[in-house]
Amino acid sequence: MPQPIAIIGGNIAGLSAAYHLARKGCPVIIYERKIWDKPCGGAISIEYAYYLAKKLGIDIPELDQYIPHIHFYFKDHRSIETDGLFVTISRYNLQQQLISRLQNDPNIDIIFKHMTRKDHNLFSAQTILSTGFSGLTRQIIGKEWHNREYALALKYSGFFRKNSQNPSHLMAFDSRLKGYGWVFFGSNSQFNIGIGGLIEKKIIYEKFEEFTKQINDRFNYGIRLESSPAVWKIPITLNNWNTPVSYYKNGIEFIGTGDVLGLAHPVIAAGIEPAWQSGWLLGESYDPATHTIKTARYRHLLKKNLQLTSRKPFDIVLSHILRLNWIPFKDQQAYFLMKLFHKKIIHQIKKYPWFAMIHDGEKETGFKIDA
Ligand SMILES: Cc1cc2nc3c(=O)[nH]c(=O)nc-3n(C[C@H](O)[C@H](O)[C@H](O)COP(=O)(O)OP(=O)(O)OC[C@H]3O[C@@H](n4cnc5c(N)ncnc54)[C@H](O)[C@@H]3O)c2cc1C
């Protein structure tokens, strides 16, 4: 039996890497700090939710409570309603269920441990780094990390008391954030509310308060926060084709996945599916004959697949434009663009979904969103 490959970080990207490597006969050991509710909107495409449910046997209660509408709301009180295209899952439940599912695999060991650089005796010659936006990632990636941009996001989860007949997920564009606010509904009257964008930490709390107030005033959602929202960063690399996918430190090759590579969508910062997809591609790059991950192949596959899905050239161009201060991309323009193009956008998403839809090399899971 070959030496297991160490995977540090057992969440979306790390668990996907473990699952796909184990399927190729590669033994792995995952080191994860804990099961936790990572601050995250938890929005995943319905297609991916079906994949998790059907292929991995994950119970996604939200699939039965799929919310059929998204309300896009603009500052001057104009709004556009479109079909719903995602469900929101609990990150705690997803991580917990994926871990229990993988624990039965003879090729996978899971150890709950907070890893530090001092744990080098536990690293394998090639070690998978799936630690997201964490101190350890920063220490290992070093200088490369500092070139990263990140979006700052605040999120609060709670229970929805008001009995709404027909809730819509709500997304509010705000040019001052260079990002958006959201209210997403999950199962059992849960909701989460947040804002995120290319914004400074010192004003994000103020903007969050403003957003919550607007949502209550305008839509009468009756949202009351009982504790402080959680703040987190989402690394977003606009041009990750020139950045390496592996990093050498003290003779160990650390191979990045998910947020470590800044794979979240460059415009909407959705990172769950690209993280899962990178784990799959890592498995595809494993060579059983030499018991190694071929990093050149991994890099090639990432580029090819992410260009098809979350990182289409159009998204990169759009995210560059959004970052240019001299382009007056205000709420009004956003409204008119959305008004003109939302039918086309929705049609495109249904036909060629935004996210990492090509799971495990299969284009579809059999589920179709009704046209
Ligand atoms: C507020 C917010 C809202 C978001 N909303 C969405 C959304 O609606 N939809 C979407 O698709 N994406 C969303 N994202 C992005 C998404 O959360 C990330 O892209 C995704 O979680 C990346 O997965 P990952 O596995 O790479 O990293 P993570 O999910 O961050 O997992 C890293 C894991 O590594 C573990 N770890 C870290 N350091 C150590 C250590 N030293 N030792 C052991 N374990 C360690 C952590 O405990 C963690 O479980 C959001 C992000 C934020 C911040």
DSSP 139-178: HHHTHHHHT-EEEEEEEEEEE--S--SS--EEEEEETTTT
Nearest ligand 1 atom to alpha carbon 136: 41
User: Cα(69) to centroid of ligand 1, in Å?
Assistant: 26
| Cβ 265 under 6 angstroms from ligand 1 | no
pLDDT at 163 (0 to 100)? 54
- Ligand 1 pocket, residue 270 CB under 6 Å: yes
Residue (of 291, 296, 292) closest to 246 by Cα position = 296
Q: What is the pLDDT of residue 130?
A: 98
Question: Which pLDDT does position 370 carry in this prediction?
Answer: 35
Helix (H, G, I), strand (E, B) or coil at 23: helix
Is 33 a pocket residue for ligand 1 (Cβ < 6 Å)? Answer: yes
Query: What burial letters (b/e) apply to 296-334, b meaning 16+ CB within 10 Å?
Result: eebbebbeebbeebbbbeebbeebeebeeeeeebebeeb
C-alpha distances (whole Å) from 275 to each of 97, 115, 370 are 17, 20, 27
Closest CA to 174 of 147, 206, 149: 206
Q: Which fold has domain 5-361?
A: FAD/NAD(P)-binding domain (3.50.50)
Q: What's the pLDDT score for residue 255? A: 97
Q: What is the largest CA-CA distance in the chain?
A: 64
Contact in structure between 285 and 128 (CB atoms under 8 Å): no
Nearest CA to ligand 1 atom 49: 11
* Residue from 89, 120, 131 to probe ligand 1 pocket by mutation (most atoms less than 8 Å from CB): 131
pLDDT of residue 220: 76
Residue nearest to atom 19 of ligand 1 (CA): 271
Tell whether ligand 1 has an atom less than 6 A from the beta carbon of residue 131: yes
268 lines ligand 1 (CB under 6 A): no
Report the nearest atom of ligand 1 relative to the CA of 113. 43
Which residue has its alpha carbon closest to ligand 1 atom 2?
Answer: 40
Pairing of strands 69-73, 230-236: unpaired
pLDDT of the residue at 241:
64
Q: pLDDT at position 262, please? A: 87
Mean pLDDT of the chain: 83
Q: Give the residue, by CA position, lying nearest to ligand 1 atom 38.
A: 131
Please report the pLDDT score of residue 191 as a whole number: 86
Q: What percent of the chain has pLDDT over 70?
A: 84
- Domain boundaries of the chain, sorted by first residue: 5-361
Q: Which residues of the chain have pLDDT under 50?
A: 354-371
